[in-house]
């Protein structure tokens, strides 16, 4: 959890709005309003009685879920995220409708989409 907190703080300037005393769950505040919650697998499974979860790791095939961040400078954000330890998945590219996007995997193996809307 400490590595996840450090990664999202360093790259996206997010601060935790809640951290469990056990260190097994935290909520990171996004700007201007919002939050992303991170929980260790055993913690999550205690709240989903009878359900099993699949762990995301940097070594496994990514889950079909993504966290998306919008920016006005995709190239700079992509470089910042990768230099902070994310694994590049898709280099910045222009989409058919004009927007730009790139994908990385964070330190947990989760997809992060970085997108820059078309300025036109």
> Which domains are seen in the chain, by residue range?
1-52 (3.30.720), 54-120 (3.10.180.10)
Distance CA 108, CA 117 (A): 26
Distance CA 13, CA 112 (A): 15
pLDDT per residue as tens digits for the range 11-64: 999 999 999 898 888 999 987 778 888 888 777 777 777 777 777 777 877 777
Output the CA angle 76-80-86, nearest 5 degrees: 130
- pTM assigned to the model: 0.79
pLDDT per residue as tens digits for the range 53-100: 777 777 877 777 788 999 999 999 999 999 999 999 999 999 999 999
For 59, the token pair is 């070594």
């Amino acid at each position: 959890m400490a590595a996840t907190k450090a990664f999202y703080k360093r790259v996206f300037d997010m601060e935790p709005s809640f951290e469990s005393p056990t260190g097994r769950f935290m909520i990171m505040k996004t700007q201007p309003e919002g939050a992303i919650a991170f929980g260790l697998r055993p913690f999550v499974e205690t709240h989903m009685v009878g359900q099993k979860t699949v762990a995301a790791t940097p070594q496994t095939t990514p889950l079909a879920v993504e966290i998306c961040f919008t920016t006005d400078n995709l190239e700079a954000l992509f470089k910042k995220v990768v230099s902070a330890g994310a694994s590049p998945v898709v280099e910045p590219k222009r989409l058919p409708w004009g927007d730009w996007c790139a994908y990385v995997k964070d330190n947990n193996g989760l997809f992060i989409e970085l997108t820059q809307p078309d300025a036109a």
